[in-house]
A and B are shown apart, each in its own frame.
Chain A
C-alpha cells in the first residue's frame, strides 16, 4: 500500500500516541495548575480527561503509568491521572461542582 509518511530526505516527526497523550495531559494540568485554587488542579485535570478523552485514551495513559511510573507527566498531571483512575464515577465532578471549579461538563448551559 502506498504511503506518504516521511518520504526519503523529508523531515518528519515520529508518531507516538503515548507521547502525545502525556504532552496533552501536561498542557491540561498546566492550565488548571495556573488557576487560583491549586488544591483542585489535579481534580480539574482528572475531570477534563474524563470529559474529553475516550476510554481507550485513558487506558493508554494508565498503561503508561503502570509501565513507567508516569514518565514525562508533570506532578499535577500525574496526580490527575491517578485520581481519575481510582475515583468512582461522578465523584470528581460532584466535588468540583461543590467547590465551584470549572468543569468540562458544565450542565446544559446551552440548554436554554
Chain B
C-alpha cells in the first residue's frame, strides 16, 4: 500500500440538515449549510491552496492563501472562513488570486531558509506543495534585513524537533493543542514580525505543559515541527493501517515505513475510535519493538536458579509439551493451566483458551481482566444482559452531563479524554467521583461542577446515596423504568435506597463527602439532560467492585440514561485488547461470547467443532491457580503476554505460587518479572509483527496489520499452534482470518464478523450478526439484551481492609500518561524522560507529620509487605490517602497490596490498602534481594567457543 494521505477538507464538516447548492468554478455542488467554501470545493474535487486550515480544527483565516473570488461580493475572502450560500458562484483560480497567492507565498519564503527551499527532500510538506501550486519561482526580497533565520531549534522533546526558522506562524500547532488535544500548552507570543510560537511560558517543549501527543507535529504544514525519526531515517514510502497496542481507546494509525523499517506512526483520520488523534504512547513510543533487551530466541532451563539456555523452537516446544504431559500424568488433569494476554490479538487469546480447554482438558484459563474489569462483566451482565459498555466514543459529543467515577482519562485514555474535554469546553457539565483531585477536576478551561472525593472503599456508599436523592426527590424517569425495567426489582430497589441510612447525610460518615455536594451532583445527573457515566478501575478494583458497577447501572436505568447517544454506562477498559480477551472466552467459567461452560448446548457446539469432549465445570482463576500452586496441586502454567508477578496483588504470594510450580512457560517480548520464575521462555511478537484484531472499550473490532516480519520468527498465534500440535491437539490455521471465521461460527455476537467485513468497513462494534449487520454502536436502544433491565440492591458493606494505629493511611493506585501498565513497553522507550519510577503522592499534612519532604525516599508498608520509593508531596490527594502507580519493577508496588478482592469476581482490591509511610534511607532488604535475584535469573548462558 503506498503512502496513505487522507483528504484534508480544510475545515470540519457541518452537521446541518439543510442543504445548499452553489457553483465552484465549473462544478455544481450541494453541501450542508454551514460548510465552508473551502470544504465544499474539496468535496467537489477542487483543491484550494491553504496553509493555516485543516479539517481537524475550526477555520482561522490567517494565512491569506486560500482566497477566492465570489460573484457579487467585493474583495477576496478567505474560503476557509466563508460559509456557502444558496446560489453562490465561486472562482478559485483567477489572475488576481494567482498574483495575491504568489505574493503571500513569496513573503513567507523570504523568511525561510534558502537551503530548505532548494532541498527537494522537503517536498512532501504542505508548504512546498503550495509553493508549487502558486508557481513561485523567485524571491525578490533580500535577506539583509531582519529575519528569524538565526533562531535556535528546540530539540528537548525526545520525539520531535521544533525549528523556528521554518515556522510561518500559521497557528495550526497552537490550535491543535487547543482544539484537538485540549492541553492548550502552545501559544503565539509577540505581535507582528515578533510573533513566534511558544510552549507554555516560552519554555523548551520538554519542560512545558506539552504532553507530547504529536497533534502539533501532525498539524504543522512546514515541518517546523517534525518527528526526529523522519529527520534521521528519511521520508517514509508506504503506509499500513493498524491499531495501537497500548490502551483501550484503540487508536488507528498509519504505520509509515521505509521497507520494513518503521519511520513513524501517524494517527489515521478515518479511525473511528480516535478520529485522527493520538497520545505520546501510540504516536511515538514504539521503540520497544526493536529494543536491545528484546529476546528473540527460545530458552529453557531445568531450574529457575540456573541461567537460561538458548535452544531451537523445536526443542523449546517439545520440552514444554513433554513437561506438561509429565505433570498432568503425575498430578492430574487440573494441575496445569494458562493465562491469555490482554495485549495479544483476539485470535491469539482465542487459541490459548482453546489450547487449555481442548488440549489440556480443563478450564483453567484466565486473563488480566480478572484484576481490572471482571466486575464490569458480571455487573453489567446481571443488570443489562451484556458484559460490556453501552456506547461508542462518539457518544460523548451528545453528552450534557458527564460523570467520571474512579477514572482518570487524561492519563489512562488520553485520546478519549481529549474528545471529552472538547465537549466539556462546549458547556457540558462535569461530576468527578474520585478520592484524588484528578486533572479534569480543574484545568484552566474546565472545572468540574462537583468533585466528590469519596474515601477509598466507599464507592457503593456514595452511589447508593446518589440513588437515594434520585428516588426520594422524585427524579426517577418513571416512563423509562415502566417500559424498560423489571418493576418488582425496581420497587425493591426504591424501598432500599430510600432508607434514611442510605441518605447522603448518613453516608457522609463513611465517604467524607459533604451531603450537599452529593445532592447537587445527583440532581445534576438526573435532570441535566443526556447524562453519561464513565468509570474505571477506581470502581472495579474493590471488594464491592461488582456491586458498584451494578449501582452505576441502577442510576443509569432509574434516570433513563440508556439506549441513545450521549448517555450510557461506559467502562474505560485499560488495555488494547482486554475487552477482546474477555470476549474470546478467557475466563475459566465462560466460552467465547460469555456463555457458561456448564451450558450443554453451548458446550456441545464447541465439542462438535473442536472434536473433543470439554469440561463442564468452571476452572481456576489466576488467584486460585496460585493458591493451588502453594498448596502443591497446581504445577504448570502457560502465560502469554502477562507479567503477573508485577501486576497482580500480594507479590510475595505470587512469587510463592510461581516458585512452587515445576514448569512455568512465559511467552513475551522481554525477560519480565514473571520470567524470573520461568523454566521456558518463548519469545513473542509485537503488534507490528502480526495480523489479527483488537477490540477496544467501545466493543470495536479493528484490524491489526503486520508491517514487518516477526523478529522472533513467529507471530504469537503460530507459537500457540505449534504447542497445540506438539501436544496432540491439531490446529492448522494458515492465517488469523481463519481463526476469526471459527470465532464467528461459534459465537452469535460475532457471527457477522469477517476480515472481509473489517477491510470494507474499517471496524465494527459487536454484536455484529444478522440483527446488526454493520455492528452496534449503541446498545440497548429498544430493549435490554436480557429483556428488561434489572435493578439490584447495592448495600454498602465496608471492606475488611481497615486502617489502624499501625497502618493509618489508605493507599490507592493509578496510572500516568507516559507509562503503560507494568511498563515493559514504555520503560524501553524515551518516555522514561518524563518519569522513570513510581512516586508516592502524599498530602502535605501527612508528609509534615512524618518529616517527609518532596523527593525524599520513603518506606511504604502494609501487612503484606514493604517497599521504598520517592515521595511527591501534593494536595491532589486528601489527608489520609496516598497514591502511587505500578509501572516500575524497581518499586514493586504490588508487594504492598493484599489478597482482598471483589466478592463476585475476585478482582483484587488494589484501591484500598492500609499502609504506613515513613522516611527511608534506601531500598528495603527485600527490594535489594529481589533485584539481585532478578539479575541472576536473567543470565543467559553463552555458547561455548568453537
B-side contacts of A9, CB under 8 Å: 925
The distance from the CB of A64 to the nearest CB of chain B, in whole angstroms, is 14
The distance from the CB of A26 to the nearest CB of chain B, in whole angstroms, is 9
Known: A1-B303, A4-B652, A106-B385. A13 touches B898 (CB 8 A): yes
Give the contacting residue for B861; candidates A3, A11, A23; CB below 8 A. A11
Cβ–Cβ contact A109 & B589, under 8 A = no
The distance from the CB of B128 to the nearest CB of chain A, in whole angstroms, is 52
Across the two chains, which residue of chain B brings its CB closest to A11?
A: B863
Q: Is the interface of B mostly helix, strand, loop or mixed?
A: loop
Q: Is A12 an interface residue (CB 8 A)?
A: yes
Known: A36-B492, A111-B595. A13 touches B786 (CB 8 A): no
What is the size category of the interface that chain B forms with chain A?
35 or more
Across the two chains, which residue of chain B brings its CB closest to A28?
A: B903
Q: Which of A45-53, A65-73, A78-86 contacts B (4 or more CB under 8 A)?
A: A45-53
List CB contacts (< 8 Å) of A17-38 with chain B.
17, 20, 23-24, 27-28, 30-31, 34-36
Cβ–Cβ contact A24 & B633, under 8 A = no
The distance from the CB of A24 to the nearest CB of chain B, in whole angstroms, is 7
The distance from the CB of B867 to the nearest CB of chain A, in whole angstroms, is 10
Complex interface bits, B621-663 against A, C-beta within 8 A gives 1, otherwise 0: 0001001101101000000000000000011110110010000
Complex interface bits, B853-891 against A, C-beta within 8 A gives 1, otherwise 0: 000000001111110000000000000000000000000
Cβ–Cβ contact B863 & A102, under 8 A = no
Q: Is A96 an interface residue (CB 8 A)?
A: no
Cβ–Cβ contact B599 & A105, under 8 A = yes
Cβ–Cβ contact A57 & B655, under 8 A = no
Cβ–Cβ contact A7 & B387, under 8 A = no
Give the contacting residue for A13; candidates B334, B631, B864; CB below 8 A. B864
Known: A54-B618, A110-B595. A3 touches B903 (CB 8 A): no
Cβ–Cβ contact A17 & B627, under 8 A = yes
Cβ–Cβ contact B864 & A36, under 8 A = no
In angstroms, Cα B492 to Cα A8, docked, is 52
Across the two chains, which residue of chain B brings its CB closest to A112?
A: B748
Known: A53-B618, A110-B593. A27 touches B381 (CB 8 A): no
Q: Is B598 an interface residue (CB 8 A)?
A: yes
The distance from the CB of B926 to the nearest CB of chain A, in whole angstroms, is 5
Cβ–Cβ contact B596 & A57, under 8 A = no
Q: Is A56 an interface residue (CB 8 A)?
A: yes
Cβ–Cβ contact A57 & B903, under 8 A = no
A-side contacts of B382, CB under 8 Å: 102, 106
A-side contacts of B595, CB under 8 Å: 108, 110-111
Q: Is B785 an interface residue (CB 8 A)?
A: yes
List CB contacts (< 8 Å) of B658-693 with chain A.
659
Known: A11-B861, A12-B652, A111-B595. A56 touches B633 (CB 8 A): yes
Q: Which of B88-96, B241-249, B789-797 contacts A (4 or more CB under 8 A)?
A: B789-797
Q: Is B812 an interface residue (CB 8 A)?
A: no
Known: A3-B655, A11-B865. A109 touches B598 (CB 8 A): no
Cβ–Cβ contact A1 & B305, under 8 A = yes
Provide a sorted-by-A list of 25 A–B residue pairs whose CB atoms are within 8 angstroms. A1-B659, A3-B656, A7-B926, A7-B929, A11-B863, A12-B865, A15-B627, A17-B627, A17-B631, A20-B899, A27-B903, A28-B904, A31-B547, A31-B903, A34-B797, A36-B793, A48-B904, A54-B624, A56-B628, A100-B488, A104-B589, A108-B593, A109-B785, A111-B595, A112-B771
B-side contacts of A109, CB under 8 Å: 381, 385-386, 594, 785-786
In angstroms, Cα B579 to Cα A110, docked, is 14
Give the contacting residue for B797; candidates A11, A30, A36, A56; CB below 8 A. A30
Across the two chains, which residue of chain A brings its CB closest to B633?
A: A56
Cβ–Cβ contact A4 & B786, under 8 A = no
The distance from the CB of B653 to the nearest CB of chain A, in whole angstroms, is 7
B-side contacts of A30, CB under 8 Å: 797, 903
In angstroms, Cα B617 to Cα A56, docked, is 10
